[in-house]
Amino acid sequence: MHVRTLTSGLATVLLMSLPALGGGQALAAETPDAASASSAAARVLTYDASGSAEFRSAVDRGAAIWNASVDGAELRPAAAGQRANIRILADNGWPRALPTSLGNGTVWIGRQAVNEGYDTVRISSHELGHILGLPDRKPGPCSSLMSGSSAGVPCTNPYPNAAEKAEVENNFTGAVVSPSAATGSVPVLLED
């Protein structure tokens, strides 16, 4: 949930309700929270999970986790015919991501890790974290989403920790995210 937007909306409702309670005149004013909320609008990143096969619900859940965790980026399914920032595929290999620029790239939800017992929602959330600009942090504890497989099969935590959330917020503060995955930069394949 976008707390700043909710807070701003609540402040506006309260401000507009005051005249009804006290018989005064309503004044429209932009609160500082409203100004910061509009300047901190989330960058919308679309994803195409049509090739994610049996992992579609895990992909949608991973996107929802990021949407609830950060305000700077919002992951939405691409509309029919829309070119997506992120393409998500299923294959028989190990899960991996190929970011082409911040907010753009391809994710593979690999069946090899799933067959070994790794959690599909954690995999999805982790690989989307790469597209949002986070590197692997191995070895690491289960509390670190970007520790990936080094946290072990029993780890099912799909949520980014405070440092990972802050890093994504920082990545998208003032960042320009193009709808095209091609930027001319050399992509780096991130596995895990």
Please give the positions annotated as active site.
127
Does residue 139 have a cis bond before it (omega within 30 degrees)? yes
CA 113 to CA 119: how far, in whole Å?
Answer: 8
The residue among 14, 97, 83 whose CA lies nearest residue 45 is 83
CA distances from 123 to 3, 8, 40, 101, 139 (A): 26, 34, 28, 20, 16
Residue 88 DSSP SS3? strand
